[in-house]
Structure 1
């Protein structure tokens, strides 16, 4: 058994504003499954498919505090593309963000609610990922994160060092999942998290038990008892959800 990484969940005080920004930033379609939820996916997308990680923007009452531990990196194909994309994103409402990056070849921006993201310089490894190059997670131990997530999902571990770890779908398509070593300590609930789905026919309860055996723990983010998903945390406390099979 193994779960699939299917989407990114992003908290926002105004899901429609943040959702509209990311839809226009990525060139994706926008929809809503109900009040307080804005769903984004590529045009003509057949969900779920590892060629893209969809985005669900979820309305929450609490404002953002501190730098996000999970962020999105956007891919570019040339220096001109990078400059044009940064300019377009700023026209859409993005603002420059300083997270201590110093003099680097990528540009750090924040969306209308302050969620940091990077517009990368052209890198060959990301030329076939689509607009999202990677989902990046800050962590203390990339090797431990690679062990857990490599067993938790049907994704393949591509690189592991003391400083970073990289995974990608077993089909070799779509964005990467990267764990980057940082000195920061997690203190609050992540405003961006991963959503997993078991495969059709698999028992979600069995999958949750398997993930707990790998080191996941129960997490309470105020979801209550009457929800069709399970909230867990990885060994470093990063929350994620196990959705129903589909």
Structure 2
């Protein structure tokens, strides 16, 4: 039994507009499974596939009250590509975000609803990830997060220190999932959380029970009667366990 990361979920005031921004930013397409939900995924993509972690944008009444600790890092292939990508994102409606970072080689931006993300300088480790280099979760203790998430998922550990941990699909494709130690006093709040999915034939309830033995707790986010299960990891980050697929 194991889970895989299949999408990141953005809470938004306008799912259609924010979904279109991210589709244009990533060079992907959009679809919808119903009112208030915009799905962003590569063109011709058959979901789920470890080659990509998709984006699911969901409208909520007051997205500013949603507080998660995940963001996206976008990939670039050269200094020129990084500059072109930043310029393109600004044209799409992103804004520069000064968050007190020192002189760094990456660029921090905010999407049209204020969600922070980074456009990274070229890094060899991300050369084959696609447009999303990594899904990044800020945390107090990367090693503790690694113990939980490494047990929750079948992804492979690539690197771990006291300040940083990196996992990737066991298939060796798609973006990384990274845990970065959060600077003191920086809440790192955003509106992005992780959605996990069991493999076909696995049991959602059994997976939820297994996660609770690893340290997950029930999370009530006002979800009501839905087919997915909302949990929180040991640092209180909400995530969802979807039905098998």
Identify the TM-score tier after normalising by the shorter chain. over 0.9
User: Is the partner of 1:64 in helix, strand or coil?
Assistant: helix
State the Cα deviation string for residues 199-239 of structure 1 (Å, max 9, x = none).
Answer: 11111100100000000000011101x10000000000000
- 1:185 deviation in Å? 6.8
The alignment status of 1:206 with 2:245, answered yes or no, reads: no
1:21-100, aligned counterparts within 5 Å?
Answer: 21-64=21-64, 69-100=69-100
CA distance in 2, matches of 1:98, 1:185: 13
2:220 matched residue in structure 1: 220
Distance in 2 (alpha carbons) for counterparts of 1:67 and 1:218: 16
CA RMSD, aligned part only?
Answer: 1.6
- Is the Cα contact below 8 Å between 2:6 and 2:54 reproduced in 1? yes
In structure 2, the residue corresponding to 1:45 is in which secondary structure? coil
Q: Pick closer, same or farther for the CA change 1:114–1:167 going to 2, 3 Å.
A: same
TM-score of the aligned structures, taking structure 2 as reference length: 0.96
Deviation (angstroms), 1:186: 5.6
* SS of equivalent to 2:48: coil
Distance 1:216 1:75 in 2: 31
Change (3 A) 1:65 1:80: farther
Distance 1:68 1:205 in 2: 24
Deviations 1:109-163 (A, max 9, x none): 0000000000000000000000000001000000000111011001011111111
| Structure-1-length-normalised TM-score | 0.96
Structure 2 residues not aligned, in runs of 5+: none
SS of equivalent to 1:220: coil
Name structure 1 gaps, 5 residues minimum.
none
> How many correspondences in the alignment?
244
Change (3 A) 1:244 1:66: closer
Task: Check whether the contact 1:68–1:115 (CA below 8 A) recurs between aligned residues.
Answer: no
d(CA) in 2 for partners of 1:21, 1:209: 37
**Alpha-carbon contact 2:69-2:193 (below 8 Å) kept:** no
Corresponding residue number in structure 1 for 2:149: 149
Query: In structure 1, how many angstroms separate the alpha carbons of the residues matched to 2:103 and 2:204?
Result: 45
